[in-house]
Amino acid sequence: MYIGAHVSMAGGLDKSIERASKLGSNCLMTFASSPRSLKYQIPSVKVIEKYKQAKIKYEMGPHFFHAPYLVNLASGDKSYVNASRDLLISYQQLAGEIGGSGTIFHVGSHKGSGFETKITQIVTTINYILDSSPRGTRLILENAAGQAGTIGASLVELREIIDRVGDKPKIGVCLDTQHAWASGIPLDKLLDMFTHEVGIKYLAAIHFNDSKTEFDSHVDRHENLGQGKIGKDILRKFIANCKLKIENCPIILEVPGDGDGPRKKDIDYLKRLVV
Ligand SMILES: [Zn+2]
């Protein structure tokens, strides 16, 4: 089973592998550029070489990128959509170069204008990105908590996007347990609902988080496992269901830890839930 965490790439992408390994992870997720900007800087050839060596040395499994939260394919500003699109293309090309799994991203927010008014723009942009995405990488839509017009809080919206994507082997979904909970989807039904609405073959990763906010709150706030409103029992049952129904789907922690993200004890906690 692949168990990992969102780790920092401070000091270079190669450093993220050692960080993930020290946490006890066998897969990982990182940004591939500053999360506070839509600008992208290509890592040097030397960093990529060091990265590849580290990946072999630490026997690291799948590496997912997470796009900056600034990305918004549903924006009303065309230049902003294009900047989001170009950043995602750069992420996908880097993923191809390092043997990464692809890029998990939040589709964005229609800011009240409605999903149906934006779906054509979203799908056209995704198809453009996929055209220049290397084979073997996936562009991965994350389900949303549903605050302020965010797209993908309902599985139906994710399915409607995927239905209209041309190059289906290059698209996937990441299910975030906190976002599903906050959007009002019971976690004991999530995998079955996903299988029915979207199709389990599209499931690329799981973000496994407890929640600071109540069920159906529509607020995106992650909490350390067992310390939030979802709680240990529901999280354990969800993991047991994952073991039964999905093969080799990476489970990635995005919990706050002490404020700097997942700690080794958070990974250890998850491993105890899996047993
Ligand atoms: Zn997430």
> Torsion-angle region of residue 250: left (phi > 0), alpha (psi -120 to 50) or beta?
beta
Catalytic site residue 196? no
Question: Residue 20: its pLDDT value, please?
Answer: 98
Using pLDDT thresholds of 50, 70 and 90, give the confidence band for residue 149.
Answer: confident
Q: Give 35 Cα–ligand 1 centroid separation in angstroms.
A: 14
**pLDDT computed for residue 113 by the predictor:** 85
pLDDT in tens, 28-39: 999 999 999 999
Hey, is 170 helix, strand or coil?
A: helix
Whole-number average pLDDT of the chain:
96
Q: Quick one: pLDDT at residue 275?
A: 82
Write the CATH number for 71.
3.20.20.150
pLDDT digit string, tens, across residues 157-198 = 999 999 999 999 999 999 999 999 999 999 999 999 999 999
Per-residue pLDDT of 231-264, as tens digits, reads 999 999 999 999 888 888 999 999 999 999 999 9
Q: Is 176 among the catalytic positions?
A: yes
Give residue 254 CA to ligand 1 midpoint distance, Å. Answer: 6
Whether the CB-CB separation of 211 and 221 falls below 8 Å is answered with yes
Ligand 1 is an ion; residues with CB less than 5 A from it:
176, 207, 254
Annotated catalytic residue: which of 160, 176, 210, 223? 176
Residue in 234, 200, 198, 227 with CA at minimum distance from that of residue 212: 227
pLDDT tens digits, residue range 24-67? 999 999 999 999 999 998 899 999 999 999 999 999 999 999 99
1 to 133, 190, 229: CA distances (angstroms):
27, 20, 26
Q: Could you tell me where the DSSP H helices lie in the chain?
A: 13-23, 45-57, 78-98, 119-131, 155-163, 177-182, 187-197, 231-245, 264-274
* Residue among 221, 126, 125, 139 nearest 176 (CA): 221
pLDDT of residue 200: 95
pLDDT given at position 263: 98
From the list 14, 142, 160, 223, the catalytic residue is: 142
What's the pLDDT score for residue 158?
Answer: 97
Q: How far is the CA of 54 from the centre of ligand 1 (A)?
A: 26
Structural domain total, the chain: 1
pLDDT score of 254: 98
Residue 232 lies in domain: 3-274
* Dist. CA 91–CA 93, nearest whole Å: 5
Give the distance (Å) from ligand 1 centre to CA of residue 266.
Answer: 16
Is 6 an active-site residue?
Answer: no
- Region 74-86: what's the mean pLDDT? 97
Helix (H/G/I), strand (E/B), else coil: 92: helix
DSSP 99: T
